[in-house]
A and B are shown apart, each in its own frame.
Chain A
Amino acid sequence: MSFRRELLFSAAVVVLFALAPWIAPLLQLELSTVSGVLVTAIAVMSVNLLLGYTGLPAFGNAAYFGMGTYGAALSVSYLHVHFVEAIIIGTLAGLLGGLLLAPFLLRRRGIYFGLLSIAFGEIFYFIAYRYTDVTGGEDGMRVVRPEVQLGGLHAGISDFGFFYVALAIFVVALIAFRTIVRSPFGRTLVAIRQNEPRVRYLGLNSDRFIFVALLISASMAGLSGALSALLLNFAYPLQLDWHQSGYFVLSMILGGAGTVWGSLVGAAIYVIGNDVISTITPLWQIFLGALFVACVLGFPRGILGSIDLLLRRAPQTFTDDDVNAAFDPAAPVEVGRGR
């Protein structure tokens, strides 16, 4: 897609979302649910960066999300910080989580990376669950949404206001994400996914690239967590469990791994689908499970990935990498031009 077309398309989506407070009720959707989609999309983006682009099974991102949500919750409750500070602290907490775990995670690839992520995620989960005095344990922590206090500006944030804050932050995150994945750095990540030894033979230190990707991913997940704490006015340990990581990964697969907008599409399907189906029937878990199974089996490229494939966005000349990529369902089809 040309840059112009992409810009128009993006603007259209943003405008559509900006009208959500009026559109959502028509679909019987709560505005805060749409906010939830945006917040989740950021977390899914963090997984997408590691899994979709770099090819590392990121099954432990809920841990960074949790650092973010508790970072925000604790700082609001005990340090009485304000809205913007809470978000920053949460993001930094996620980053801290990434810094703590990166030395360990970097040592492994493939499914071992994934299992290690799960292991660490569970350790974080237990800490959140057990240290009742600090985190409230399974009862969770109430977060009173603080005001924004910047310079002379004092403003409380209602659900309505929060939506636009979330939208703005999401747009910024999306732009950042797109910039990262289209940059040489991002291309190197894709190269690592396709063939890491080759990247090393070319003289690049793949570990360093993965390290940075991990930190970015952790920060994004932390950002998402902080926003979640402020959206729900609540932080609770279940958000750190590996099931939550699994839902992020599945949302990414639904939307399309390795695509820029896939995170939003996947998050939308998961959050809204869950919300709608669970209202209709208490058997929603069957539908959700079936959706995941069908997606993994039939549409592993996800919605956007499949559309890309079918619209034949392929370069005209195939290289080894492209052939390899063609047999790897998680790869975006094109390698030549950016998407």
Chain B
Amino acid sequence: MIHDLGPQLFNGLVLGAFYAIVAIGLSLIMNLTGTINMAHGSFMTLAGYLAYSLVLRGTSFWFALIAAPLIVVVVGIVVERTLVRPLYKREPFYSLLMTFGLSLIAEEVYRLIWGPNAVPFSPPPSLNGTTALGFMSFPTFRIFIAVVLIVAIVALALFLTRTRFGLRLRAAVQDTEMIAALGTNTQVLYAVNFGLGIFLAGIAGVLAGGMLGLSPTSGNSLLMPAFVTVIIGGMGSLFGSIVGGLLVGMAISLTTLFIPAASEVSMYVLMAIVLLVRPRGLFGEEGIFG
């Protein structure tokens, strides 16, 4: 069992990287407007399906990796303007319910378009093999996911700290009224912020489609771990989402090693513990949700 520890920890880290990408997207959306996006998984699945359809029509995986999320962003912004925006002034749980309804619609629509069965979507051959890592053979694609995470984090960090827009975004998270008073168009800010979160969801969706299966119900299984990650890492903190993701990934891996039956529940137990002991999470901001 100890012999398995190394591979499990490594696997957990990489898995955590994936959860982190999803969680950051969710967190971005939550931080600015308090919107709880239960349809995040649906956006992910949409990106996966679009990538599948694009590749089927002959584009390369790399093209689809960028194009599919972009298309989903367009959908996301439409959703934001029509459905999400009216709920900003209300309590968060309204957005939770509304996006829950949205996820129901999405699942059925996907079933109509792409059929009820899983569709075969895989990474390109260059990424689809294994890499020998000395202590284990590891799927190249998962390493790729970790790389994507690092790129995404760096890009996001640069965007938030080095661009004016990013600056406004950070300011708006702290005090939306003030920045509106100072002349920023908050409507555009909201839309772009949502779009950014959805873009990350889209990337995660294409990656998930390659790593796992792709069917109308795929989004459901990825949603909960993402929420747990945001809660553990702390709402209001992007850094927290990253750390939270890694923790959740490792928690699942390690409980699989020691108490396999509990591995999925462990996530919820962890979530409950965090909520009870330190509800703002490890790195969260006090008072985001009262």
Point out the residues of chain B lying under 8 angstroms from A114, CB to CB.
93, 96
Point out the residues of chain B lying under 8 angstroms from A122, CB to CB.
224, 265, 268
Contact with B along A108-128 (1 / 0, CB 8 A): 111110111001101100100
Closest to A298 in B: B86
In the complex, the answer to whether A283 meets B112 with C-beta atoms within 8 Å is yes
Point out the residues of chain A lying under 8 angstroms from B275, CB to CB.
108, 112, 115-116, 119
In the complex, the answer to whether B104 meets A288 with C-beta atoms within 8 Å is yes
Closest to B277 in A: A107
A36 to B42, CA, bound (A): 30
A37 to B264, CA, bound (A): 33
In the complex, the answer to whether B271 meets A297 with C-beta atoms within 8 Å is no
In the complex, the answer to whether A246 meets B100 with C-beta atoms within 8 Å is yes
Closest to B280 in A: A112
Contact A286:B108 (CB < 8 A) given known A116-B272, A293-B83: yes
In the complex, the answer to whether B105 meets A249 with C-beta atoms within 8 Å is no
Residues of A within 8 A of B (CB): 57, 59, 104, 107-112, 114-116, 119-120, 122-123, 126, 130, 246, 249-250, 253, 283, 285-286, 288-293, 296-297, 300, 328-330
In the complex, the answer to whether B97 meets A250 with C-beta atoms within 8 Å is yes
A116 to B272, CA, bound (A): 6
Query: Which of B104, B271, B272, B279 is A292 in contact with, Cβ under 8 Å?
Result: B104
A300 to B103, CA, bound (A): 19
Point out the residues of chain A lying under 8 angstroms from B112, CB to CB.
283
B269 at the interface (CB under 8 A from A): yes
A-B contact pairs, 29 of them (CB 8 A): A59-B93, A110-B91, A112-B289, A115-B231, A116-B272, A119-B269, A120-B268, A120-B272, A122-B224, A122-B268, A123-B265, A123-B269, A126-B268, A246-B97, A249-B97, A285-B104, A285-B107, A285-B108, A286-B105, A289-B102, A289-B104, A292-B97, A293-B83, A293-B101, A293-B105, A296-B87, A297-B87, A300-B90, A328-B91
Measured CB to CB, the closest approach of chain B to A138, in angstroms, equals: 14
Point out the residues of chain B lying under 8 angstroms from A123, CB to CB.
265, 268-269, 272
Given A250-B100, A289-B102, 12 further pairs, Cβ under 8 A: A104-B272, A110-B290, A250-B101, A253-B97, A289-B103, A290-B101, A290-B105, A292-B97, A292-B104, A293-B105, A297-B83, A330-B91
Complex interface residues of chain B between 256 and 272 (CB less than 8 A to chain A): 261, 264-265, 268-269, 271-272
Measured CB to CB, the closest approach of chain A to B275, in angstroms, equals: 5
Point out the residues of chain B lying under 8 angstroms from A107, CB to CB.
276
A104 to B102, CA, bound (A): 31
Measured CB to CB, the closest approach of chain A to B165, in angstroms, equals: 28
Residues of B within 8 A of A (CB): 36, 83, 86-87, 90-94, 96-98, 100-109, 112, 224, 227, 231, 261, 264-265, 268-269, 271-272, 275-276, 279, 289-290
A250 to B98, CA, bound (A): 9
Measured CB to CB, the closest approach of chain A to B43, in angstroms, equals: 15
Closest to A294 in B: B101
Contact A126:B272 (CB < 8 A) given known A253-B97, A285-B108, A286-B108: no
Contact A111:B289 (CB < 8 A) given known A116-B275, A289-B103, A297-B83: yes
Point out the residues of chain B lying under 8 angstroms from A130, CB to CB.
261
In the complex, the answer to whether A109 meets B290 with C-beta atoms within 8 Å is yes
Point out the residues of chain B lying under 8 angstroms from A115, CB to CB.
227, 231, 271, 275
A293 to B97, CA, bound (A): 8
Query: Which of B98, B100, B276 is A108 in contact with, Cβ under 8 Å?
Result: B276
Measured CB to CB, the closest approach of chain A to B164, in angstroms, equals: 32
Point out the residues of chain B lying under 8 angstroms from A119, CB to CB.
268-269, 271-272, 275
Contact A292:B98 (CB < 8 A) given known A111-B92, A115-B231: yes
In the complex, the answer to whether A296 meets B94 with C-beta atoms within 8 Å is yes
Point out the residues of chain B lying under 8 angstroms from A288, CB to CB.
101, 104
Which of B96, B103, B106, B275 has the most chain A CB atoms closer than 10 A to its own CB? B275
Which of A107, A120, A288, A289 has the most chain B CB atoms closer than 10 A to its own CB? A289
